[in-house]
Amino acid sequence: MQTFHDAWSQLSEWFDSVEHLGLYLYLAWVTYLIVLGVWIVLQKREPVATLSWILALAVLPYFGFAIYHLFGPQRIVRQRLRRMRSRVAESDDDREIGNSGAQAETSELMRVATQTTGLGPSRARTVELLIDGHAKYTRLLADIAQARQHVHVEYYIFTPDRTGAALRDALIACAKRGVRVRLLLDAIGSAKAPQRFFADLEAAGGELVWFHPTRFLRFWYRPWMNLRTHRKIVVIDHRIGYTGGINITDEEDETLRADAYRDLHVRIEGDAVRALQQVFVEDWVYASGRRDVMSDLARTRAVDRDTTAAALDGAEGEEGIATHVLTSGPDSPWETIHRLHVGAIHAATRRVWLVTPYFVPGEAAMMALTSAALGGVDVRLLVPKRSDSLPVTLAARSYYDDLLAAGVKVYEYGPRMLHTKALLIDDDTALIGSANFDHRSFRLNFEVTMLFADAGVAERLARLIEGEFANAPRVRDDRQRPLLSSRLPEALARLLSPLL
């Protein structure tokens, strides 16, 4: 303690001996603020967000910069170019991906999706809605057991529990019989799964890559803590694809846990699988730096030309189900999934039914929902009574008053945590995928959503959502909202909306 006191005394004496120290510190602070302020302004973010960051840097010098360095907005420029190059290479190898089914759907939404993602509209031969984890896991394991060429898997959360072990063991069995297995996991979302958990998979010949691993020790790089792959993708033999909201965890299996999430996934067959495959390939090339996956896929397509390709071509000649794979992430400025949600809501004439576990809308989304309701469209919002994040729950409730005033019907699902991410528009358009209705999914996460322009899929989704209303009491505009326990916490949580 005496040593510390002496050191502090010497430091104080040194400060006192420096002439005009206060002026030097002030000039350093001004210079720091100007340089970083110009840097932030040139990123051309929303004015409110830009001003908030500049204010934080001014009030918390140096410490504020550390926060910005860790959590501030980032644009992936060099990485975006790498991803675009992988897309061009894959398109050259299989050009029909971008054009197949192009004449099947020429709506404005499809054109916007094509322009912003580089993926063209396609068709699916079959689309299955898989409700809850047990149905999804049972179907998935059965399909993996029949794989002959490759199994490509990408998940945000993969936990080393009973569910995770079952999928890992199924992948090990595939690898041992010569099937090419590639597993891409988010380094933050799947942090509970240690590398050794997959040792037998890698020993059997399977490949494991981590998406955006932490790099705190490399201070010259900005960390990617906020930029995660939230996608859930499985592609088997070019023929079968899975995507939606269900991760690999016991928390999603209702047969293992009474409080398992209520969730939705889709299983597709047909031409649309190739677009989903392309999304995985881009993520794999970007995360691993290895491009051999594309030549490997080209060889398997050539070997299996008489079966797989013929089946796909036959499906294209049939009516099929019009689909479009939507992607978004910090490597694109277009916010495609956000843009398509808002555009679809504006285009609605009869109904807009939105299901999401995290409802933290931006100004454009709120304007679309309230405008549709004010225009006489049946607008309904289904959210969990309490999500797994209290700040998100409170922030979502802060929007209720404006929604209810406009005529939006709000329902809170109660039995379990609702994790479904779906949007139903009128009687012929459905969007199902991994993206929540919040800032993080629309701007920070790498997400994937399937757009189905099909009355049959829309009808099945409508029946599912109608069934959920039975367990979701409607929020009343005359509900009790005490200041300290309700209104104030909700208002404070809303201030954090851009960070949630």
By annotation, the residues acting in catalysis are: 230, 232, 237, 419, 421, 426
CA distances from 81 to 105, 282, 292, 334, 364 (A): 29, 11, 18, 15, 29
204 vs 460: CA distance, rounded Å? 40
Report which of 462, 120, 461 is spatially closest to residue 322, judged by C-alpha positions.
120
Structural element, H or E, at residue 16: helix 2-17
229 vs 288: CA distance, rounded Å? 14
Which residues, in sequence order, are bridge partners of residue 267?
A: 128, 242
Report which of 426, 132, 117 is spatially closest to residue 256, judged by C-alpha positions.
132
155 vs 130: CA distance, rounded Å? 17
410 vs 474: CA distance, rounded Å? 6
Q: Are 445 and 435 in contact (CB under 8 A)?
A: yes
Q: Are 96 and 278 in contact (CB under 8 A)?
A: no
Which residues, in sequence order, are bridge partners of residue 93?
A: none
Strands (E), 108-186: 122-124, 126-131, 150-155, 180-186
**What is the token pair recorded at 128?**
């299955």
CA atoms lying within 13 Å on the CB side of residue 496: 14
248 vs 202: CA distance, rounded Å? 19
